[in-house]
Structure 1
Amino acid sequence: MTLKKLASRAITEIGAVLDSALPHQVEVMAAPILNAKRIALYGVGREGLMMKSLAMRLFHLGLDAHVVGDMTTPPLGTGDMLIVSAGPGEFSTVSGLIDVAKTAGAATMCVTATPDGTVPQSVTHVVHLEAQTMANDQEGATSVLPMGSLFEAVQFLFFEMVILHLRDQMGLSANAMRANHTNLE
């Protein structure tokens, strides 16, 4: 298969997942974010990179957003929220963080492709993105993208749709978001 055909198939796959998630899953994710005082985000591997991307955009909206593991991440408590990514439905580190956040009184949210997984079943809010992950990429795999890339690519674009929705809900302009971008690059 040529690179152009591979790219076309990948775009089609991403579009199909987004079609199934929009607009309902955006609302599922956006409403709790708007109600949170402080937001901490976490994911492992490439999913973690997508969560960092989301944290940056939430910060651009002027929200109090932090990446778990950064030295400046404050403690969570009542009124706060931990958002995690667990595409396959289970990661031990993610489970541990959920327990800590819940004990502190924070709400919890999981972005997943496997809503019946251990982590999604333990959180306050579940965002379901129906995409192939690394956990189901071998026998019967359907995505042209390797390993969990379909889930991660969908996350990036889905999170941008969430940000656009939040921006509109908050009455912010693109320039207001840009004003929060760092000047230290």
Structure 2
Amino acid sequence: MSTIGTVLEEMQNVCMKVNAEEYDSFVQLLKADRRFFFTGEGRSGFVAKAIAMRLMHSGKTVYVVGETTTPAIKEKDILIVLSGSGKTAQALNISESAHRAGATVFMITTNEEALQLPFMSGGMRIPAATKYRLVGEPETIQPLGNQFDQAAHLVMDAAIIDSLAEGKTNEELRKKHSNLE
């Protein structure tokens, strides 16, 4: 049980250090009446899918890059990119392609420099440890990029809650939940 306590303490420390302005810009982006596309590799990709699903439940049109039913991204669409390192080749290639198509590209990463790339429209830095254990990253008992992926999931879930139209109830979201189970 002490491991659970340590992980929870790490999550609180990391999540509470997210820049408020970056978080608010993400919340505002989620309020947009536009199509959303999500991408990420490995565990970050799983987190991207989980957040895409929840955003769909909130009433948005949402796609996951790489799925067979995902349409072409276009001008005014929004691409949300999860990459702990901010250096994942496929995530950067997808980001650049989306930018060329005229989409807004928003990255969630630990890497401040990645947010400055010319094809990024904005981003949010999660001050978490990655698999690389770079100088300046927080200590963690967790392996690889667990700390980033967990913190990104928590922060993005909170942002969806903050983006919901006032009065939107759990019942309304549940109506969008899969009923083929």
Give the TM-score normalised by structure 1: 0.89
Q: Could you list the runs of 5+ residues in structure 1 that have no partner in the other structure? A: none
Is the 1:88–1:112 contact (alpha carbons within 8 Å) kept by the matching residues of 2?
yes
Cα displacement string for residues 72-113 of structure 1 (whole angstroms, at most 9, x for unaligned residues): 111111111111111111111011111111111111000001
Aligned to 1:182: 178
Is the 2:30–2:160 contact (alpha carbons within 8 Å) kept by the matching residues of 1?
no
Q: Does 2:82 align with 1:85?
A: yes
| Overall identity of the aligned pairs, in % | 25
Aligned to 1:14: 11
Aligned to 2:32: 35
The amino acid of 1:156's aligned partner reads H
Q: Could you list the runs of 5+ residues in structure 2 that have no partner in the other structure? A: none
The amino acid of 1:100's aligned partner reads S
Is the 1:26–1:161 contact (alpha carbons within 8 Å) kept by the matching residues of 2?
no
Is the 1:36–1:80 contact (alpha carbons within 8 Å) kept by the matching residues of 2?
no
Q: Kindly tell me: are residues 36 and 85 of structure 1, through their superposed partners in 2, closer, same or farther at Cα, counting changes over 3 Å?
A: farther
The amino acid of 1:115's aligned partner reads E
- Higher percent of residues as helix: 1
Q: CA offset at residue 25 of structure 1? A: 3.6
2: distance between equivalents of 1:36 and 1:93? 27
Aligned to 1:173: 169
Q: Kindly tell me: are residues 20 and 59 of structure 1, through their superposed partners in 2, closer, same or farther at Cα, counting changes over 3 Å?
A: same
What is the RMSD of the two structures over their aligned residues, measured on CA atoms?
2.1
Q: CA offset at residue 24 of structure 1? A: 3.8
Aligned to 1:49: 46
Aligned to 1:5: 2
1: distance between equivalents of 2:144 and 2:44? 12
Q: CA offset at residue 151 of structure 1? A: 0.5
1: distance between equivalents of 2:166 and 2:64? 22
The amino acid of 1:184's aligned partner reads L
Is the 2:40–2:46 contact (alpha carbons within 8 Å) kept by the matching residues of 1?
yes
Q: Quick one: which of 149, 152, 168 aligns to 1:152?
A: 149
Secondary structure (helix, strand or coil) at the match of 1:152 reads helix
Secondary structure (helix, strand or coil) at the match of 1:102 reads helix
2: distance between equivalents of 1:92 and 1:66? 20
